[in-house]
Amino acid sequence: MMNSQVSALRRARNKRGWSQEQAIVRFENVSRSMGITVPGRASLRSLLSMFENDRRQVPVQYRPVFRELYRATDEDLGFAAGRSLAALPVPPPLPPDLPARVSGEILGYLGNVLDEHVRADTVVGPRYLVPTVQSQMPLIARLCESARGGDRQAVLAIAARYAEFCGWLYQDSGDCPAALAWTNQALDYAHELGDPQVIAYALMRKSNIATDCGEPGHALGLANAALATPGSLSPRTRAACLRQQANAHALLAERKDFEATVDLALTSADHDEDREDLAVYCTPSFVAMEAGLSWVRLGQPDAAVGVFRDSLASWDDGSQTRDRGLCLARLARVSETLCGG
């Protein structure tokens, strides 16, 4: 494990006594001198964190910058030939004779399996689940082709959930193009389904992917579209869309809009949960955790520390363990930056 990119890149930075912010500034200077175009400061913060935490492979065009920045070889930095962090296994082809008729048993099976996949994601992470989840999609596509009437509505609902979850798994694995492709598929299913909750949620997810891809303007437009979806949104779904809108405002350095939107998101999230809501996870603690990261992006790490601590203090014991762990990691990272680590 000590030769992995996650330890090698961070070790190279720590060896020089640089905080992440100091490394980013130097990275910008080196890339400028080499004539290599890189994203803006806010996007670089997210990218460097993903590179150091093994969530995304360093693109080939950025590797010369890292080599010059740390005066190290590809091997020193974990860029060894043949290493493919982003490569995910391709599921085997399924037999052509898939069930062509919708039944309650099939829909129940798909729903139960998806619920188990969602729970498993919090334990084992996305990379092990992608092949299994994606392998269900040919069956779901066949059912969508054959279903009619009320059966079709039920199939479209499960299809939208599967496609959105597949998009999430790819996003969490660092593959934005695949994440966007599956989320677009989820949005297509949602539009045909005609459910404003599902449409808004899929638009919010596209917005979140756009922020990861360094496109905050596009992300803001998608978040605005999610909130403008005809039909009333549940409080938690509205909170999730507002949270994403706030993220985009922060990446665009629009502080006043960010603060106002976060307040609305916190208010909307403070409602009793509905287990059927796609955004059931969007609690006030979750919104606060996301706001803390945005404060970092706005160059206010002191404010971020307080927000992260408030989030952790109000987190329910035993709930959303992975998100709570992410909040702890973000607090540790920003505290390290403030201490000059």
Question: How do the domains of the chain map onto residue ranges?
Answer: 5-70, 88-194
Q: Determine contact, residues 260/268, Cβ cutoff 8 Å.
A: no
Across residues 51-78, what is the average pLDDT?
Answer: 80
Q: Which pLDDT belongs to residue 334?
A: 85
Across residues 213-219, what is the average pLDDT?
Answer: 89
Q: Which pLDDT belongs to residue 6?
A: 46
Across residues 24-32, what is the average pLDDT?
Answer: 88
Confidence band for 142, pLDDT divided at 50, 70 and 90: confident
Locate 285 and state its tokens: 């603690």
Q: Where are the alpha helices (DSSP H) in 194-320?
A: 196-212, 216-227, 235-251, 255-269, 284-297, 301-313
Q: Where are the alpha helices (DSSP H) in 35-103?
A: 41-52, 63-70
Q: Which pLDDT belongs to residue 74?
A: 78
Distances (CA, A) of 94 to 98, 138, 139, 159, 253: 8, 8, 9, 18, 48
Q: Determine contact, residues 223/249, Cβ cutoff 8 Å.
A: no
Across residues 212-228, what is the average pLDDT?
Answer: 91
The predicted model scores a pTM of 0.71
Residue 83 has pLDDT above 80, yes or no: no
User: How many residues does this entry show for the chain?
Assistant: 341
Higher-confidence position of 125 and 277:
277
Residue 3 has pLDDT above 50, yes or no: no
Number of CB atoms found within 10 A of residue 47's CB: 22
Residue 206 has pLDDT above 80, yes or no: yes
